[in-house]
Amino acid sequence: MTGLIHLYCGGGKGKTTAAVGLTVRCAGRGNKVVFAQFLKDGTSGECRVLAKLPEVTVMAANPVGKFSFRMTDAEKRETADALTRTFDAATGFAVREHARLLVLDEVCAAISCGFLDEKTVVKFLETKPETLEVVLTGRGPSEALQAHADYITEMKMQRHPFEKGIAAREGIEF
């Protein structure tokens, strides 16, 4: 079985939700899944339920809990170190445990914010096990990530409740 590369990108809602759906589908067939989140703390509703599934290993890294533009230089270095460790742990675990699916949620943001080296991610995509399916999510994926994707799905925002002042709601957006 050939493992393909999915890229869920764009400015609309649904990138992580789509990745979670594929995670559940894959785990529901008895396959091992590694679900790694970058710039998120792993406490969202989806991570809480995924962590209960024996087939799914959840990893997350957001050590300072801030948006990148609010971080000090020291916090940026700490975040870069944590995200690099999480990437290495997630990819290493997926390979060692012969996972069927690896989700790298918000990896595009981790790269574009300078916290994760794009060359490292691309090298992994080029050398991953043949049977490993990989999902990349986030806004503004680079041309290099797009070039490696077998699927590219763009979520386009046409309307969002935030425009009306409605904040993210527990159980719906997180």
Name the strand (E) or helix (H) holding 102.
Answer: strand 101-105
DSSP state of 162: G
Residues 110-115 have a mean pLDDT of 96
Q: How confident is the model at residue 26 (pLDDT cuts 50, 70, 90)?
A: very high
Cα–Cα distance list, 126 to 4, 120, 149, 165 (Å) = 11, 10, 11, 43
Does pTM surpass 0.75? yes
- Residue of 119 and 173 predicted with greater confidence: 119
CB atoms within 10 A of CB 18: 16
Q: How confident is the model at residue 169 (pLDDT cuts 50, 70, 90)?
A: confident
> How far, in Å, CA of 52 to CA of 156, rounded?
31
User: Do residues 149 and 6 lie in contact, with contact meaning Cβ atoms separated by under 8 Å?
Assistant: yes
pLDDT at res. 1: 74
Buried b (16+ CB within 10 A) or exposed e, 49-62: ebeeeebbbbbbbb
Residues 72-85 have a mean pLDDT of 95
Name the strand (E) or helix (H) holding 13.
Answer: none
pLDDT at res. 64: 86
DSSP state of 11: S
- What domains can you pick out in the chain, each with its CATH number? 5-159 (3.40.50.300)
User: Does pLDDT of 16 surpass 80?
Assistant: yes
User: Do residues 44 and 174 lie in contact, with contact meaning Cβ atoms separated by under 8 Å?
Assistant: yes
> How far, in Å, CA of 151 to CA of 103, rounded?
14
% the chain with pLDDT above 90 = 83
